[in-house]
Copies of this chain bind each other. A is one copy, B any other.
Amino acid sequence: MATEQTVAENNMVISVDAMGGDNSPRVVIEGLAIAAKEHPDIRFLLFGDTAKVTPLLHQFPALEKVCELRHAPEMVHNEDKPSSVIRNRNTSMFMAIDAVRAGEAQAVVSAGNTGALMAISKLTLKTITKIHRPAIVSIMPHRSGKYVMLDLGANTECDAINLAEFAFMGEILARHALGLEQPRVALLNIGSEEMKGKEEIRKAAQMIKNSKINMNFIGYIEPHEIANGKADVIVADGFTGNIALKSIEGTARQITRMIKDAVKGSFFAKIGMVFMLPAVWKIKKIMDPRLYNGAMFVGLNGLSVKSHGGADAFSFSRAVDNAAKLVRQNFVPTIREEIEKADFDELQTVLYDVY
């Protein structure tokens, strides 16, 4: 069949944790059905409870043809601690990640517990040489385009070296995923003056400036400037990045809700809304958080993508789409190669010199 030939030719395999997320495996399978239509050349390697997954797969014959389902006797739960999940090789999450390590898949997608996904990915795929810590990164919309932000929660505390490495990896991602030649890189801070903020941020700025690595570093960015599109890569420790991300998402959701409530409560507003729908749709098309689902772990020898636990089918398909695009762009081999060939040791010497 045509589809199978394409698979053989392109050989892209994405490994999927069928049991991760709030409404698994249903949402996962429905999401894969959408993704499979868009990417007919991808083969999926599914890990999960076959008794639950098989009947769902039967509902999507086109998807079923490009899927290989393997039974996973257990699954990771939301309350499981990273320290325990890394010892259980029988969960759908562990097995799905391990398929990337074994070379059977080029990326893994899971909507499960973030801490567990990070811990198993780190243990299994290992951190790229020269990088101290991997980070969670996401692509998000600003006023006139998109930006890359990291770390969104993998590392609660970071030192200047971690931040400088995040800047470096984020810059490579922005070149690949956003197609920018000279992405503007900024450190998230509470002021624009050099002396502002925390010591590790000031040191990271100094390190990046002193290093010979070619990067369009523009200094600090404050959270209210993110939306203006002032920077293409925004770097923070995992705690700060997570606080900013959730503040942005929460505010966007609240305003949408307030507008909805206001329209509901007024006859005239309802009439007005009808006229406004095309304009509202335009905004929704840019801002829809489902479009930006799929946070990636960067700094690992393999691509691990995390979908929101509460994602719907369309949203889950975006996470798969994100993974597929990065595989096509050869992201992991490139980041490894760039770090290898860049004078990263020199950067690190500079880094340590600052201390």
Contacts and interface: CB of A to CB of B under 8 A. Distances in A.
A294 interface: no
27 contacts: A153-B190, A188-B243, A190-B246, A223-B243, A223-B244, A224-B253, A226-B250, A227-B250, A227-B251, A228-B254, A244-B244, A247-B251, A251-B252, A255-B283, A255-B287, A258-B286, A258-B287, A259-B279, A262-B279, A265-B279, A266-B279, A268-B278, A269-B276, A272-B276, A272-B277, A272-B279, A276-B276
A283 B258 contact: yes
A344 interface: no
A144 to B, nearest CB: 11
Contacts of A249: 224
A262 B283 contact: yes
B283 A276 contact: no
A280 interface: yes
A86 interface: no
Given A244-B247, A268-B278, A272-B272, 9 more contacts: A156-B197, A156-B198, A190-B238, A224-B246, A243-B244, A247-B248, A255-B283, A259-B283, A271-B275
Interface in A278-294: 278-280, 282-283, 286-287
B250 A225 contact: yes
B240 A222 contact: no
Contact of A266 (B225, B239, B278, B287): B278
Contacts of A213: none
Given A258-B283, A283-B258, A247 B226 contact: yes
Interface of A: 79, 142-143, 153, 156-157, 188, 190, 193, 197-198, 222-228, 238-240, 242-244, 246-255, 257-259, 262-263, 265-266, 268-269, 271-280, 282-283, 286-287
Q: How many copies does the complex hold?
A: 2
A255 to B, nearest CB: 5
A276 B279 contact: no
User: By DSSP majority rule, is chain A's interface helix, strand, loop, or mixed?
Assistant: helix
A228 B274 CA distance: 27
Contacts of A255: 251-252, 255, 283, 287
The 5 lowest CB-CB distance pairs between A and B, nearest first, are: A272-B275, A224-B250, A272-B276, A227-B254, A247-B247
Most B C-beta atoms less than 10 A away, residue of A224, A249, A265, A283 = A224
B262 A280 contact: yes
Contacts of A263: 276, 279
B279 A275 contact: no
A246 B272 contact: no
Contact of A156 (B190, B243, B275): B190
A246 B222 CA distance: 7
Contacts of A198: 156-157, 239
Nearest to A272: B275
Contacts of A242: 190
A193 B82 CA distance: 14
B143 A239 contact: no
A190 B162 CA distance: 19
Contact of A269 (B193, B252, B259, B275): B275
A252 B193 CA distance: 24
A247 B275 contact: no
B251 A248 contact: yes
